[in-house]
Amino acid sequence: MGKVKGKPGPLARRPDNSAFKQQRLPAWTPMLTAHTVLPSFYIMSMICMLLGVWLLLTVQSTKEIKLDYTEAGTCNICFEKRKNVSNAAQSCNCRVVLPIEKAFKGNVFFYYGLRNFHQNLRRYMDSRDDGQMVGRKNNLKNPSSYCKPFAKDQNGNPIAPCGAVANSIFNDSFSLIYHGSDGSSAPVPLLRGGITWYTDKNVKFRNPKLEDSTLAQVFNNTVKPPYWEKPVYELDPHDPTNNGFINDDLIVWMREAAFPNFKKLYGVLNRAQKPFTKGLPAGNYSIDIQYNFPVKYFQGRKEVVLTTLTWFGGQNHFLPVAYLVTSSLILLIAVVLTVFWWKFGKDGKNMEE
């Protein structure tokens, strides 16, 4: 029987008779010997050791000071007051002392930190409406169901911003004060703007289009989250451009942390004024704190962190230690292999037996 017209023959899918498709190209297979493997191990160990030492010296060149203010100074009064839910709406101010023995040269960054606060819980991380955060008016009126039970209030009014993440925003505020040796005091100027990522400020978070309306009118039919003191369009009374969903503090908080112990940027030292042009001079400092955020309910702690940064970041010893440990393991393996090769395989006779 002949081949049916229009149907491929049995050899139609055969690859072309070329060196590439028939796998006839010349190949090279490396021969692993002690003379090639052992030097590679020693070289890799040396490279990892040099990187580890370099990164360790870089990390140690940064300066950092931490202060747990949960119950420090006069904040123990506020801590006890925040234990009672009925006092949650009452403001409480306290002060802690922060001595700095050695000057912080260069740019100084002010962080607030939380311990045992799990921002990485799945239900917590999902409790937000990203469509609302980019300024979609439809999401402003009808928040996502993921925001429940913080999507609407008891009267059915939509919450802006909705969700558990926004509702639990860190709301302590700080004022750093420098006390000179002559008895004078001066507030330390902190830049509160420009502390967010560019993509967050310009892409992921945007206010609804105002058109001919003000920001307050756009959010007129919404209510603030239950635990907030101010609506979202009044978060920063000193800078109208820092209100709404593009508020720096809100954006920083909405980027969830991966671990239960974390710190988030609060401000950067403004070095335009004396005596802070070169950084923070050594001396006595105090921090006036508006103590609002309760931590007793989740057995947490609060702290402030002052630090300088390098190209590598802050004081993070994980990567340098990881390089040094890796270097030690590779060196140990190289030494063991060298001993085995010297004893059993140097002349090849013992390996053949």
pLDDT in tens, 4-18: 555 566 667 788 888
Single-letter code of the amino acid located at 332:
L
* Residues contacting 233, CB < 8 A, separation 6+: 215, 216, 218, 219, 243, 244
Local structure of 222: helix, strand or coil: coil
Mean pLDDT of all residues in 298-315:
90
pTM of the model: 0.81
- Higher per-residue confidence, 304 vs 216: 304
The ranges assigned to domains in the chain are 37-62+315-341, 64-309
Report the pLDDT value the prediction gives residue 7, as an integer from 0 to 100: 57
Mean pLDDT of all residues in 299-315:
90
Q: Comparing C-alpha atoms, which of 143, 180, 135, 136 is closest to residue 159?
A: 143
Report pLDDT digits (tens) over 84-103: 755 566 788 999 999 999 99
- Higher per-residue confidence, 17 vs 246: 246
pLDDT class of 24 with cuts at 50, 70, 90: confident
**Cβ contact 323:49 at 8 Å:** yes
Q: Radius of gyration of the chain from Cα atoms?
A: 31
Q: What is the mean pLDDT of the chain?
A: 88
Report pLDDT digits (tens) over 269-278: 999 988 899 9
Look at residue 353 and tell me whether its pLDDT is greater than 50.
Answer: no
Q: Comparing C-alpha atoms, which of 215, 199, 198, 217 is closest to residue 207?
A: 215
Report pLDDT digits (tens) over 25-51: 888 888 888 888 899 999 999 999 999
| Cis amide prior to 226 (ω within 30 degrees) | no
Mean pLDDT of all residues in 153-169:
93
Report the pLDDT value the prediction gives residue 265, as an integer from 0 to 100: 95
* Residues contacting 87, CB < 8 A, separation 6+: 81
In DSSP terms, 99 is beta-bridged to 284
Report the pLDDT value the prediction gives residue 1, as an integer from 0 to 100: 47
Mean pLDDT of all residues in 252-263:
95
Report the pLDDT value the prediction gives residue 4, as an integer from 0 to 100: 52
Look at residue 309 and tell me whether its pLDDT is greater than 60.
Answer: yes
Alpha carbon of residue 6 to chain centroid: 63
Report the pLDDT value the prediction gives residue 212, as an integer from 0 to 100: 77
